[in-house]
Amino acid sequence: MGLLLQGERPVFRKLELHVAHGCNLACESCSHYSNHAHSGTVSLEDADRWMGLWSRRVSVTRFSLLGGEPTIHPQLPQFVGLVRRHWPHTQIEIVSNGFFLHRHPSLPTILAADPDARLVISVHHDSEEYRDRLKPVFALLEQWRQEHGFVARVRPAHKNWTRRYEGFGDTMLPFEDDDPRASWEACPARHCKQLLDGRIWKCAPLAYLPMQKAKYRLSDKWDGYLAYRPLEPDCSRAELDAFAALEDEAACGMCPAKERLFELPLPMRQRKARAGTAAQP
């Protein structure tokens, strides 16, 4: 579609920020590599600084706070106000699997007070076991609805789950179907740019690939993709416009050239049993 402008600024349809890299679920072939047991969170101070590098240069239609699992971050509710301060007119969403929402009792008040902020619950499996584990989550959401007039959106993520790479960990491999344009067109997150370390990355698979490299002995087939260079905050206006308008490029070749749907296995992680109690996900 080319470059979108709002006033004098280029527009990013969607900008995402990992507030936490870890996740309590292990969804096979997660495009953010959250099934690979990463850890760590982004501080409010770092996020504020990163946003400040870009908020006067780009407009954002939708800003997503996610991960990993964002509710792992103990200060998650404060990120909503932080985003709103930098982009007063953006749509803000928190994308969560819901299991740790009870850790954030102030969240419904904050979201209910902002008409352009919402909570999206991603449901990652349709089994009876998974649905049973979600019952306390939906009970809490109903309580929030009654007390705050706040309604969360529920998204059945498992219904359109696609494979973004082959293998796992050390054996993970890119697809390299030799058709980057087709890969870009088939990508369900082709407009989901990432804010990481003050730079803006084309997509999650490229942004978090260095985390994979730091943890696993990846094949040298990944070397070309690890050489990808994100947009730096000191870039020129011409470089910014070119990045905002860019669609497919060689790096898109790491992902499949056609949609590869598959049935997601139950993603619950198993905790080690303690003191004779049964292991719990």
Q: What is the pLDDT of residues 206-235, one digit of tens each?
A: 999 999 999 999 999 999 999 999 999 999
Quick one: pLDDT band at residue 276, thresholds 50, 70, 90? very low
Give me the pLDDT at residue 275, please: 33
179 CB burial (10 A radius; 0-12, 13-18, 19+): middle
Q: How confident is the model at residue 280 (pLDDT cuts 50, 70, 90)?
A: very low
Counting Cβ atoms within 10 Å, is residue 47 exposed (0-12), middle (13-18) or buried (19+)?
Answer: buried
Rounded CA separation 242/47 (Å): 25
The predicted model gives 231-241 an average pLDDT of 97
pLDDT bin (cut points 50, 70, 90) of residue 5 is low
Collect all residues with Cβ–Cβ distance below 8 Å to 129 and sequence separation of at least 6: 266, 268
The token duo for 147 is 């007390």
Mean pLDDT, the chain, integer: 94
d(CA 202, CA 193): 5
The CATH number, out of the four listed (3.40.50, 3.20.20, 1.20.1050, 1.10.10), of the domain defined by the range 5-254: 3.20.20
62-78: string of b/e by CB count within 10 Å (b at 16+)? bbbbbbbbbbbbeebbe
User: Does the pLDDT of residue 55 top 90, yes or no?
Assistant: yes
DSSP state of 112: H
- Please state, in angstroms and rounded to a whole number, the distance separating the CA atoms of residues 271 and 27: 16
Tens of pLDDT, residues 102-151: 999 999 999 999 999 999 999 999 999 999 999 999 999 999 999 999 89
Provide the pLDDT for residue 1: 54
Q: Give the other-Cβ count within 10 Å of 245's Cβ.
A: 12
At residue 3 the predicted structure's pLDDT band, cuts being 50, 70 and 90, is confident
**Position of tokens 């007070």?**
113
pTM for this model (two decimals): 0.93
